[in-house]
Amino acid sequence: MAGKKTKKQVAPTSTGLPENAHITGAGEVEQQIITHTLRENYMPYAMSVIMSRAIPEIDGFKPSHRKLLYTMYKMGLLNGNLIKSANIAGQTMKLNPHGDAAIYDTMVRLSRGNEALLHPYVESKGNFGKAYSSDMECAASRYTEAKLAPIAAELFRDIDKDTVDFVDNYDATMQEPTLLPVTFPSILVNNNLGIAVGMASNICSFNLQEICETTIAVMKDPDHDILSTLKAPDFPGGGQLVYERDVLQKVYDTGRGSIRVRSVYQYDKSNNCIEVTQIPYSTSIEAIITKVIELVKGGKVKEINDIRNETDLNGLKITIDLKRGTDPDKLMNRLYALTPLEDTFGCNFNVLIGGVPQVMGVRGLLQEWIAFRIESVERRTYYDLSKAREKLHLLKALEKILLDIDKAIRIVRETDEEAEVVPNLMIGFGIDQVQAEYVAEIKLRHLNREYILKRLDDVSDLEKTVADLEETLGSKNRIRRIIIDELQAVAKKYGQPRRTEIIYASDIVVEQEETVEVADYACTLFFTRDGYFKKITPQSLRMSGEHKLKEGDEITQTIETSNNRELLFFGDRCNVYKSHANDFKDTKTSVMGDYIPAKLGFDEGEGARYMAAVTEYTGYMLFFYENGKVAKVDMEAYATKTNRRKLVGAYSDKSPLVAIYYVPADGEFLLTSTSGRRLLLHTGAIAPKSTRSTIGVQVMTLKGRHTLQSVVPFVPGSLVKENRYRTKTLPAAGAMPQAEDFGEQLSML
């Protein structure tokens, strides 16, 4: 339309805001006190993870498990046919708002198909993956089906009889139980792993029959010997548990400790192969195969031709093809020591008791569960008693009506207003309002003697029931007898033989590691600034020419030693990598050598800084820092009992490193600062430390922005007046060099 002004449209940016839009406070940095941030933001998050996610409660479930199982129970999945897992996950979101993917992952672990639990709570159909394999993943929820397993009935028994408390869900549209009234100690029957903030929980599984028997024994005798009835943990994947009484006693008493579990194998003589059919619960097929392949490639195991995963619908199987003449039992004993075919389960019985995380032993957990179950049974008994009393109270009104039915009919017929019917019945028969309401609601067809007499036949039975329930509530022994009967019924109905075999540590044959004779001969080691390494024999060195080096590289260390020396390569990220001279092939000066960061698997981007060659871990490592401090670390700090290749925290990172030296004994070093001052330091004046990451002691005083520039071993006679640079006390600033101190060497400075 001509002459009409319109507003100019401003194109939005990728953020959805116009180009000229201004956001208040954008780009500003707000400073906060760290303690305030931790208290206001981090602590509530940590408490939420501990209380509402990661740590199980005395019923054996985390909130995510409980919400899922209760939803399936309310959907009627305890009976009937299986339904799509996607449907279950969607319904559970009414209680658990964390998304269907997280809910489905929870259901997968609880399922029979996944084989993660000794007694699965979910029956499954379809591919639910396998707990013992990281590669065998479950199918999407739209392809699988599920329902509750029969044993799940024991989780919800009498849940509608006020046995546990209920609370509102996250949007107050429905209610959910705070705990499930389990009829057996499920907290110890199925594995449970949770990682919270600052704490974790890892509970192993026990055989259901043994747990029920032990619980009954503890109820009868609080000092019962747990080990006499609860033999050892029982894992879903079977395996062989190495029985060590002291270790198990510690786990049972404190809730902490490590349990050794071995794989189960059989030897197929016709095909000359080992078939592993059960593995420890704490490892996976892929971890075992990867480690075995690593050992074969490294030359530590030479009896294996091939290893492969042959797991199928019949179950787990790892096949190891052997070379001719190999003793399978001896090989497996070595593999137990070198691979996850024998692994440990680290126990940490951390459970929420009354909202407080507590690490407890088996006896403590059973006593807490018994107390919880006693409360549940008492609440159920009181509920039944209340219902029986209410029914008896109503039937008492029928007794009075029976005396004169015509009177009741006449009262109702002659009452003019409906609101007066109940009061008139109360007056006419001397009954209370509840009874009168009940009488008033009786259908006309039921106001006959036959119906009323049939109903009154229940009065005597109800009176006996009320008396019995009252007696039960007043007797702790009767409550305990009820719990014991329920435990015996559960053990009989759902109990199964042990899956994990118990073997004794004393019966295990320990194969001595064969010592490989290493040829010991003289050699010279060369190490360059860029991290290249060469090992050359004296004969080859005499016949060789100049060293081949990378452009710009130079040799920084030359060590005449022997082939049996252990080598320590210090990286520039405070790590040290251990190797042996015999791990490297003899070479010549005409080759560039081995690149140490690649050869020893340094961290990405990490370079090699220094090489130390040792036979025994004696002497010291010296670390000189720019701030003038020197750390003197005893070499024993780098000795390890295991064959670890990498040690972190090899030295301090508080200040940039100037130089590293390995010294078998104390000696003198010449320190030079950027100001030109020099100091002769005898390392005997520094006390050694056993901690690798020590920050050291101040030896050179530096002023302004000056730093320590260089450190070299002192060569006697290189200074004319060397005493000028020595000091009796540390730290010291050192002395400025003078011409007469150097004599003829002045021109070389």
CA-based radius of gyration for the chain: 39
Pairing relation of β-strands 240-243 and 501-504? parallel
Q: What are the backbone angles phi and psi of residue 327, rounded to the nearest 5°?
A: -85, 110
* Arithmetic mean of pLDDT, 70-91: 95
10 Å Cβ neighbour count for 646?
14
10 Å Cβ neighbour count for 86?
16
**Does residue 713 have a cis bond before it (omega within 30 degrees)?**
no
**Would the pLDDT of 8 be above 50?**
no
Q: For residue range 178-230, what is the model confidence (pLDDT) as tens digits?
A: 999 999 999 999 999 988 888 889 999 999 999 999 999 999 999 999 999 99
* Arithmetic mean of pLDDT, 43-60: 84
Helix axes 208-220, 476-494, angle to 10 degrees: 160
Please report where in the chains the tokens 């189960």 appear, as a residue: 264
Q: For residue range 288-328, what is the model confidence (pLDDT) as tens digits?
A: 999 999 998 888 888 999 999 999 989 999 999 999 889 99
**Would the pLDDT of 444 be above 90?**
no
Model confidence at 743, pLDDT cuts 50, 70, 90, reads: low
Q: For residue range 471-492, what is the model confidence (pLDDT) as tens digits?
A: 999 999 999 999 999 999 999 9
DSSP-derived letter for residue 38 is: I
Distance, in Å, from the CA atom of 491 to the CA atom of 471, rounded to the nearest integer, reads 27
Model confidence at 63, pLDDT cuts 50, 70, 90, reads: very high
* Tokens read off for 520: 């010991």
CA 163 to chain centroid, in Å, comes to 32
Residue 643 confidence (pLDDT): 66
Question: Which H helix or E strand runs over 394?
Answer: helix 362-402
**Would the pLDDT of 7 be above 60?**
no
**Would the pLDDT of 27 be above 80?**
no
Q: For residue range 376-403, what is the model confidence (pLDDT) as tens digits?
A: 999 999 999 999 999 999 888 888 887 7
* Tokens read off for 383: 């509920």
Burial of 34 (0-12, 13-18, 19+ CB in 10 A): exposed
Burial of 197 (0-12, 13-18, 19+ CB in 10 A): middle
Q: For residue range 671-702, what is the model confidence (pLDDT) as tens digits?
A: 999 999 999 999 999 999 989 989 999 999 99
CA 344 to chain centroid, in Å, comes to 13
Residue 748 confidence (pLDDT): 40
* Tokens read off for 232: 């050892």
Taking a C-beta distance cutoff of 8 angstroms, is the pair 234, 210 a contact? yes
Taking a C-beta distance cutoff of 8 angstroms, is the pair 647, 638 a contact? yes
Taking a C-beta distance cutoff of 8 angstroms, is the pair 525, 535 a contact? yes
Domain 264-340 has CATH 3.30.1360.40: yes
554 CB-near residues (< 8 Å, 6+ apart): 528, 529
User: Mean pLDDT over all residues of the chain?
Assistant: 89
Of 143, 170, 504, 521, the catalytic one is: 143
10 Å Cβ neighbour count for 537?
16
**Would the pLDDT of 749 be above 60?**
no
143 included as an active-site residue: yes
Burial of 88 (0-12, 13-18, 19+ CB in 10 A): buried
Q: For residue range 647-666, what is the model confidence (pLDDT) as tens digits?
A: 888 999 999 999 999 999 99
Distance, in Å, from the CA atom of 569 to the CA atom of 596, rounded to the nearest integer, reads 8
Q: For residue range 100-131, what is the model confidence (pLDDT) as tens digits?
A: 999 999 999 999 999 999 999 999 999 999 99
> Is the model more confident about 625 or about 747?
625
Instruction: Classify domain 61-181 by CATH number.
Output: 3.90.199.10
The three-state secondary structure class of 17 is: coil
Residue 5 confidence (pLDDT): 44
10 Å Cβ neighbour count for 372?
21
Arch. (CATH architecture) of 368-493: Orthogonal Bundle (1.10)
Residue 20 confidence (pLDDT): 57
> Is the model more confident about 427 or about 449?
427
Q: For residue range 462-475, what is the model confidence (pLDDT) as tens digits?
A: 999 999 999 999 99
Model confidence at 745, pLDDT cuts 50, 70, 90, reads: very low
Residue 642 confidence (pLDDT): 63
Q: Compute the C-alpha angle 553/557/559, nearest 5°.
A: 140
* Tokens read off for 234: 């029982």
Q: What are the backbone angles phi and psi of residue 428, rounded to the nearest 5°?
A: -65, -35
Distance, in Å, from the CA atom of 173 to the CA atom of 178, rounded to the nearest integer, reads 16
What is the residue extent of each domain of the chain? Answer: 61-181, 264-340, 368-493
Residue 742 confidence (pLDDT): 59
What proportion of the chain, given as a percentage, has pLDDT over 70? Answer: 93
DSSP E strand boundaries for 551-665? 555-562, 566-571, 576-580, 594-595, 608-614, 620-625, 629-634, 646-647, 657-663
Distance, in Å, from the CA atom of 352 to the CA atom of 51, rounded to the nearest integer, reads 8
Q: For residue range 498-556, what is the model confidence (pLDDT) as tens digits?
A: 999 999 987 776 655 554 566 788 999 999 999 999 999 998 888 888 899 999 999 99
* Arithmetic mean of pLDDT, 598-609: 89
Q: For residue range 390-438, what is the model confidence (pLDDT) as tens digits?
A: 999 988 888 888 778 888 888 888 888 888 989 998 988 889 999 999 8
Residue 54 confidence (pLDDT): 85
Instruction: Tell which residue, 480, 222, 495, 470, has the closest CA to residue 373.
Output: 480
Residue 234 confidence (pLDDT): 96
Instruction: Indicate the pTM of the whole model.
Output: 0.67
